[in-house]
Structure 1
């Protein structure tokens, strides 16, 4: 299976859009994440720009947003779908300060912070009962990050890990 890099959807605050040319550059990368043992210690090895993914492989989807303007940007919203044929696992490393992360289970139509909840109907004692349950991360279909402030000339790197189905 040869996955394609996901389509990146980007939205900016009204102030950023009013500047004309895009004040933001985006860089998307994908790397295979492998556990390796070196001198008796288990560590991670990343193989960048990996495109020959096989079922079970864990990939890091990483997005770097850089403010190339002379002005600070506020409330920069970046959305990244979980690629088709893959399952969301977890964030890729700690979240940078000043970034809010939200998730979607409806293809990116709505977003909310984790843990997400959903209603399910189950049968108990012969009766249909509606319950609220926590959505598991492997059900996430997209991630949205909102960067509160991105000073001129700076950037933030964000990402998540997926597993190939």
Structure 2
């Protein structure tokens, strides 16, 4: 059964700090959602990415965020948050972003940490609290912190999910 792809409502928290007082970075972000399809061309199988307008359980979706700084000064410490879309699961190791520090949230975007530091407590039947490391299926958001986006600079960020 196919379901509508809910675009990751880009909760774009772009926190920009200009490298010089009164500088004017102007960062914009566009998001694209794609899936891979296999076609037959001249008797050969060919795989290509197409815009994902719907998706079936088990399909992999590719999210690409393209950013650009049209301002006249560098943007520093730009933060981009993106929720993992409802009805999908983050694919481990798929988040990319050259020059970006990548972290994740398991609490709806309130806090972000590296995967090995994403922990939570579970109360055992004995009453004892057990600390556990979150699995990628528990991630709710991806965050990229981009050190510097120079004036006129562009770049890409991305991640993949599997439809439940």
Report the TM-score when normalising by structure 1. 0.82
- For 1:13, which of 8, 13, 16 is the aligned residue? 16
Structure 2 stretches of 5 or more lacking a match? 40-44
Give the 3-state SS of the residue equivalent to 2:137 in structure 1: helix
Distance 1:118-1:33 versus aligned 2 partners, 3 A rule: farther
In the alignment, structure 1 residue 142 sits paired with structure 2 residue 144: no
Partner residue in 2 for 1:160: 159
CA contact (8 A) 1:11 1:77 kept: yes
Q: How does 1:1-165 map to 2 (within 5 A)?
A: 1-8=3-10, 9-15=12-18, 23-33=26-36, 45-47=48-50, 49-92=51-94, 94-96=96-98, 98-115=99-116, 116-123=118-125, 127-165=126-164
CA contact (8 A) 1:92 1:158 kept: no
Structure 1 stretches of 5 or more lacking a match? 37-41
Give the 3-state SS of the residue equivalent to 2:53 in structure 1: coil
CA contact (8 A) 1:91 1:159 kept: no
- C-alpha RMSD of the superposition: 2.7
Question: Alignment length, in residue pairs?
Answer: 156
Runs of 4+ in 1 over 4 A off after TM superposition: none
Report the TM-score when normalising by structure 2. 0.82
- Quote the offset at 1:93 in angstroms: 6.2
Of 87-96 and 62-71, more deviation after overlay is shown by 87-96
